[in-house]
Structure 1
Amino acid sequence: MDSGMETGANAASAAGGDAAEVGEDLVLTFGTEEQPVPWRRISLGPLSFLLSDQSIRRICWHGTELVRAISWPIRDENWATYPPTTLHDATARSDGRITGRIEQSVAGGRLGLVVEFSASAAGELLVTVTMTPAGGPFATNRAGLTVLHPILGLTGAPVTVTHSDGSTEATEFPKHIKPSQPMGDITGLSYSIGASKADIRFEGEVFEMEDQRNWSDASYKTYCVPLKEPFTYEIDAPISQIVRVSLSGKVAADTRSAATPAPQLETLDQVAPALGLALEEGWLGRAEVQETIGLCGASHLLLRVEATTSPGFLAQAAALSKALVAPIDTELLLDDDAAEGGLATIAARLAEAGIAPHRVIALRRSFLQSYQPTAQWPEGPRPDELIPAARQAFPQAQVGGGVLTNFTEFNRCRPNSALCDFIFHGNSATVHAADDLSVTETLEALPQIYASAQALSGGQPYRLGLVSIGMRTNPYGTSVSENVEQRRETMARPDPRHRALFGAAWAVGVLASTEGSAVEALCLAAPTGPFGLLPTQQPYAQPGFDEGERCVVPLFHVARAACEMAGNARVILRDLPEGVAAYGAVVDGCARLMVANLSQSTRNLPLPKTARASLLDRESAAAAMADPHWLDSTPEQRVKSLDLTPYSVAFVTMELEE
């Protein structure tokens, strides 16, 4: 192996990324037999980055990440990303320089890609992609080079933009999330993080930038072609695009990092948010399923109701609400041609089932789709205009404003806080990218989403709907993928990682991300179905669940612990190492914590004091998935530190100071 190039576990560990695994460990960790992205770490003096056949990631200069990624995705007509087939992948290295050539095809060979790159220890990185259609024009919503810029260190920071006429513009990366493109007509970008500077040049197409934090991507994205151009469009001849990156700057001696301090326990002036269960028809399961859900508990049930929802399902939901002593909140999805009248009809049907919603939010079906702020919006009542009718139909309920999809749609169709009693939206982590590294990076963006939403809230309570890896509905196309092959796939409803250790660790990260925010409630799962806590029969294969011996997913135990913490004073661990998240509250006079390792390397975490701990990891996962009572029955160990293997979760109980 060439000096300065690492592969497999070494490269992944350094990045908090992925390493190859086989067999049962792969299924327990990721819920699928598909291998993770095999990252290779490239080091060229002060320049380092991760390399795969799909992107160049974590581009650093003297250890400072200046470019999050350069990639070459091809989107279909529904904005899903085509999985590429790599035909050739070769790199060569000599004298502080590396070159590479990657040949790929997508959509059954209908489009060919040749990616060529070179990088040097002087901080120069050049990437060229050439796309050639085969057998006729190729239809796409977006194709070619995309550059991602990190949000940590750049949020609100200055940037100089060079335009196609050669002029320059001094502006800033937006602090609060922009609903529209913050920068356009881009041929160059220059910015700094600390003492390190990035200068990026774009050729071969007109580029613009969007604020990807809208979708919980932890990046600002510079891409082509501009959204003002019509899409879907066709590639009918070879196209080449080029990105040139130049990194510079020295690290001052006094900025060298000191030893990481040991984590410290701190009590916050904040309570742990309520944790609900998302419900829609088909997600409830049989009586024995509901008994297990009763053990988990829920602060509330978030019930989606539409014109076709059956009376039988509503009766079951009412029974579950009574059994859990959990109020019902409702998401009312209305047909466009009968929106206001549909509210009265649904109110009558809910009353007949014995359901008196505590909260309601109403949305016309057409507003499940996303529209650019300057685009033509659907005719008829907008979401705010349904609020008076919702109050009339449900006079005892609190009425919300917002959307049933992502913050993107919330930001583009902002609720009038003076009209509503709370604001509301959901989130999916796999809109633009579905690899493990990208999904864990979404946890960086969530606090900035919360801050931007709170700035628009007018002081109203802030509640989240379903926050998930997979996508419940597709606001950007006509359908959502059912992912029958159970891959890491963008815009897919079921994501296999939801039912594995990865999903449990990621959920701890979501809960931890609410620290200091105004979020008072959220949902991480449903009883069954693609977002279920219980793995019931599905129309797709579920590796690891075929034998019927596993009755809950690892996330079940995280959700159960979070329900017990809800409403209690919150505690946190300060000074955690990279890739580790912690969430906790004061329960029965003790600090109860969940500590998750969201990286692909083992993390050792010293604790502020001796504690009791149970570990949900590859060794214990099978037993935990077979027993809903696992948290009660598994032995606790007295520990002074935690050894957290990849995507493991420690359940920790610690005495508080007198």
Structure 2
Amino acid sequence: MTNNRERLFAASDVVEAGGWRAELRNDEIADISYGGIPVLRGIRAVVRDRDWQTLVPVVRAVERLPAGEGTRLVLDIEFDGFGCQYNAALSIVFSADSLVVVFEGESPADFQSNRIGLVVLHRPDDAGRDVLIGGRSGDLTPSRFPVEISPHQPFQNVASMQWQRDGVDFNLAFTGDVFETEDQRNWTDASFKTYSRPLALPFPMDVPAGSRVSQSVTLTASTGQEPQPETSRVGDLAITSDVVSVVPALSMPVASTLEPQAESGVLQGVESVLVELVAGAPKVAELAKQAAEQAKALQVPLDVRISAETPGQVPGLLQLVPTRNVARLGVFHSTSHVTEPDLWKALKSAADEAGLTTSLIAGARSHFTELNRNAHLLPSDAEALVYSITPQMHATEVPHLVESLPMQRLTARNALRISGGRPLHVGPVTLKPRFNAVSTSGGLDGTAEASCDPLQAEPFAAAWMLGSIAALSIPGIRSISYFEATGPCGISSSTGLTPAGNILSSIAAQRGRNILGTQGSRRGLVLYPVQAEDGIALYAANLTANRKTESVQLPDGTSTDLVLEPWTAIFQHIPVERRTT
């Protein structure tokens, strides 16, 4: 519980110097602004192992010093995890019109890494913004941050970047390596990321003991007038009578740990039980059997996802499930994680031979990234597309998890563009990755048990899931699958449903009902109003570390009060006499 509380209520240190303002969150310089104008999502140092796993940064000491009329911070950081260690010093100097970050790192032992050094996280609302890219040879190339999620790097060979926001010219200069930019919205991160060691170079790279890395990033601002930050009026909170979508079907995967469903933890209202059958995985037959038993107990069909290396493995995996009770059936390559043509052909043949008339789906069993990069491979005769979501591909801090929620809606809109009108089945949606989709050494390839986030059983998981459901409840989303049925990654246990389980069960019962519109906004507040037969079923979540008390105007002109504790989700029933018809 201590670790959970430290994550949910993590301390931050506000730094203000010159025109700059930023928050120091552990090792990250976050939410950087100048003269009240938002500039960058953040700057931080990262160390990633040969499987792209991010070593955990621990700040051993912070020294705060005067620097002329500005401020200098010096951080002593130790990176640790996955059998690797790395040491670094981070110097951050805030002055009148510049912010300079210098990274000096040294390896205490031999290891292999795919990336070491500074990364700059650009704001997601930079999408569509013009930017001038400076190359290593001094050339300047006009470009633009992509609006649609870019499957590949929009900027390469980056030595500098220049752009304008609210009348201020900003410039970034990089030293120590060749940098490039990727669209992290592919993984639901709320950022574009400029990083070093281009992906075109071989990886992993050997990092000998005693080897050093030195890099810097310099951010400058210049203006001939006072900055004029944009202001926006949030307005009163209100629920309107407009219908914006319908509640999608909700489902859950069977427990990967093969833990039985407890009597007190039975979840009602779900549309299906999802099971992933990976060729060569241990106990795959037992997993299929438990999924079938769970689906029978809940009187719902199975959603079967097959992962195979070769077409010949597909029929055998399909035989593990009762085909008479399969609602959807999909197939993916165990390494590329997408539906490849030969596997699709094998799936159709096996389904025909089994007399199956179920819905055949295609897409990616991993992130939206793989769907976006391999859209050309997807079969045109698939009835629907699918991809999964996890907010912790790159960062585990709670602010990053919360910021991923609007990006989930963006991936869904982009996936619907790729689908060409076909519906989407999103999931599994999990707090931590089910497997390492980019491992170079085998790693978690889907055959090993995935690790689970300790926040899974906390009210936070319910609040975050409600934010996810709200983000993904748009026309074209047919179903969403969350977490697992039981176990450490589950929504139920021997003592009953978790907070997430209670919210999921309640919303699952609203399937197909109209979702009403909302007006106004508050940071970290999620409103999900559903038009029920006898009134409004109002779900709300507080995704902040502070208690919230809000008044929400209803369609008939009256109002209802909400009181939400930090990191919690609630349900409130509003009777029909208080709702306009």
Write out per-residue CA displacement over residues 148-180 of structure 1, whole angstroms, 9 at most, x where no aligned residue: 00112x112221111111111111111221221
Distance in 2 of aligned mates of 1:69 and 1:358: 44
Alignment partner, residue 573 of structure 2: 653
- Residue 278 of structure 1 is matched in structure 2 by 253
CA shift, 1:411, in A, is 1.5
2:237 maps to amino acid: A
CA contact (8 A) 1:596 1:648 kept: yes
Q: Deviations over 1:556-604 (max 9, x none)?
A: 1111121022211112432121111122321223211211111122333
Residue 444 of structure 1 aligns to which amino acid in structure 2? Answer: P
Tell me the equivalent position of 1:603.
548
Match of residue 427 from structure 1? 389
- The structure-2 alpha-carbon separation of the partners of 1:383 and 1:131, relative to structure 1 and needing over 3 Å to count, comes to farther
Q: How many Å apart are 1:454 and its aligned residue?
A: 1.1
What SS does structure 1 have at the residue aligned with 2:31?
Answer: strand
Number of the residue aligned with 1:326: 300
Match of 1:522 in 2: 480
Structure with the higher strand share, 1 or 2: 2
Is the 1:281–1:309 Cα contact (8 Å) retained in structure 2?
A: no
Query: Does the 8 A contact of 2:246 with 2:475 survive in 1?
Result: no
Task: Pick closer, same or farther for the CA change 1:318–1:569 going to 2, 3 Å.
Answer: same
Out of 92, 115, 123, the position equivalent to 2:90 is 115
Would the aligned equivalents of 2:327 and 2:359 in 1 still touch at CA under 8 Å? yes
Counterpart pick for 1:641 among 558, 561, 565? 561
Measure the CA separation in 1 of the matches of 2:102 and 2:572. Answer: 49
Counterpart contact for 1:580–1:596, Cα < 8 Å: yes
CA contact (8 A) 2:187 2:393 kept: yes
Q: RMSD of the TM alignment (CA)?
A: 2.9
AA aligned opposite 2:462: A
Change over 3 Å in CA distance of 1:67–1:384 after alignment to 2: farther
Secondary structure in 1 aligned to 2:329?
strand
Aligned residue for 2:509, secondary structure, equals helix
Aligned to 1:588: 533
Moved more, 192-201 or 160-169: 192-201
Offset of 1:497 from its aligned partner?
Answer: 1.3
Q: Is the 8 A contact 2:409 2:471 kept in 1?
A: yes
Q: TM-score, normalised by structure 2?
A: 0.89
Q: Residue 201 of structure 2 aligns to a residue in which SS?
A: coil
The number of residues matched between the two structures is 564
| Partner residue in 2 for 1:183 | 155
Distance 1:481 1:312 in 2: 19
Q: Please report how far the alpha carbon of residue 200 of structure 1 lies from its aligned counterpart in structure 2 after TM superposition.
A: 0.8
Match of 2:201 in 1: 229
Structure 1 residue 552 corresponds to structure 2 residue 466: no
Aligned pair in 2 of structure 1 residues 525, 584: CA closer, same or farther (>3 Å)? Answer: farther
CA distance in 2, matches of 1:496, 1:76: 23
Answering whether residue 365 of structure 2 is matched by residue 404 of structure 1, we say yes
Aligned AA (1:265) = T
Q: What runs of 5+ residues in structure 2 fail to find an aligned partner?
A: none
Cα distance between partner residues in 1 of 2:346 and 2:29 = 46
Assess if the C-alpha contact under 8 Å between 1:596 and 1:650 holds in 2.
yes
Q: Which deviations, in whole Å up to 9, do the C-alpha atoms of 1:217-264 show, x marking residues without a partner? A: 110000011011111113343221010011345677795444633333
Classify the secondary structure of the residue corresponding to 1:72.
Answer: strand
- Shift in Å, 1:45: 5.2
Residue identity in the other structure for 2:468: V
Percent identical across equivalent pairs?
22
Counterparts of 2:156 and 2:417, CA distance in 1: 25
Greater Cα offset, 640-649 or 573-582: 640-649
Instruction: State the shift of 1:46 in Å.
Output: 3.8
- Is residue 163 from structure 1 mapped to residue 123 from structure 2 by the alignment? no
1:509 aligns with 2:482: no
Partner of 1:206: 178
Which residue is 1:14 aligned to?
Answer: none
- 1:450 corresponds, among 403, 408, 412, to 412
| Residues 450 and 517 in structure 1, CA contact (< 8 A), matched pair in contact too | no
Aligned match of 1:635: none
For residues 303 and 442 of structure 1, the distance between their equivalents in structure 2, rounded to whole angstroms, comes to 25
1:391–1:123 Cα change, 3 Å: farther
Amino acid of the structure 2 residue aligned with 1:247: A
Q: CA separation in 2, counterparts of 1:43 and 1:317?
A: 55
How far, CA to CA, are the matches of 1:456 and 1:640 in structure 2?
40
Call closer, same or farther: CA 1:311–1:594 in 2, change over 3 Å: same
Contact 1:584 1:592 in 2 (8 A): yes
Structure 1 Cα separation of the partners of residues 516 and 76 of structure 2: 50
Using a 3 Å threshold, how does the CA distance of structure 1 residues 646 and 492 change in structure 2: closer, same or farther? farther
For 2:271, the equivalent position in structure 1 comes to 299
Is 1:348 aligned to residue 319 of structure 2? Answer: yes
- Seen in structure 2, the aligned counterparts of structure 1 residues 71 and 303 have a Cα distance that, compared at 3 Å, is same
Match of 2:332 in 1: 363
Seen in structure 2, the aligned counterparts of structure 1 residues 96 and 527 have a Cα distance that, compared at 3 Å, is same
Contact 1:100 1:116 in 2 (8 A): yes
The question of 1:59 aligning with 2:21 is answered: no
Deviations along 1:605-631, one digit per CA (max 9) or x if unpaired, are 2111499xxxxxxxxxxxxxxxxxxxx
Gaps of 5+ in 1: 1-23, 370-377, 483-490, 537-549, 612-637
> Is 2:232 the counterpart of 1:263?
no
Q: Which whole-Å deviations, capped at 9, do the CAs of 1:47-66 have from their partners, x for residues lacking one?
A: 21111341100101233322
Q: 1:282 corresponds to which letter in structure 2?
A: T
